[in-house]
Amino acid sequence: ETGVTQTPRHLVMGMTNKKSLKCEQHLGHNAMYWYKQSAKKPLELMFVYNFKEQTENNSVPSRFSPECPNSSHLFLHLHTLQPEDSALYLCASSQGATMGEGETQYFGPGTRLLVL
Amino acid sequence: AQSVTQPDIHITVSEGASLELRCNYSYGATPYLFWYVQSPGQGLQLLLKYFSGDTLVQGIKGFEAEFKRSQSSFNLRKPSVHWSDAAEYFCAVLGAAGNKLTFGGGTRVLVKP
């Protein structure tokens, strides 16, 4: 499998559930990202990881908890979400640690999340 | 702080007609610029990018974009649109510091037969 994959593609959860989104990249990249895409807002960067270290947290509520066990995998753990958290969550990766063309980001297909 | 504006929220174009999508950015230095396309229910696919050199950039699917520093613009064009080009298009800018990508609000393109 090539590129950036995300599972599950669709997820419905209640406000008291705990679930996790998974992202895997097969590009040999070292930087990974989580974005949120809502119906009415531009794409919002949530988290950035470079070489497994979190380098950016864009004021994301603590009910979203990222985890990056290695450079190929990125998780987003979800707990006690609100209906307004319903959105498309996109994962991306880039070569990382280098400027220029190495910072081109490649996106996965996203997980469509509905919080009831 | 960097920002991107896509002035057109929706554009309707007839199949076979030309298409131009506008993108204006705000950034203090030379930006790295990108265009992505998103089909319904899908992730973002990279169409093209500008880092340096020739200001007219060729991308996939017959798209091109021109970087104009004097106008802070990076407009996307296609000479003849196909029905499969119906999608949402996003312009993005990457600052020189770090790897933070800032997106515009997107332009949704509808193609009429």
Say which range, A96-105, B67-76, B77-86, has the weakest mean pLDDT: A96-105
- Distance CA(B87)–CA(A116), nearest Å, equals 28
Q: Is A116 helix (H, G, I), strand (E, B) or coil?
A: coil
End-to-end Cα separation, chain B, in angstroms: 41
Quote the pLDDT of residue A104: 86
Contact A33, A48 (CB under 8 A): yes
Chain A hits for B100, CB-CB cut-off 8 Å, are 45, 48, 56
Distance from A65 to chain B by nearest Cα, in Å? Answer: 19
Mean pLDDT, range A32-49, rounded to an integer: 91
Q: Do A96 and B99 touch (CB under 8 A)?
A: yes
> From the CB of residue B49, how many other CB atoms can be counted at a distance below 10 Å?
20
**pLDDT of A2 above 80:** no
Going by DSSP bridges, is the β-strand pair B10-14/B107-112 parallel, antiparallel, or unpaired?
parallel
Angstrom distance (rounded) from CA A38 to CA A41: 5
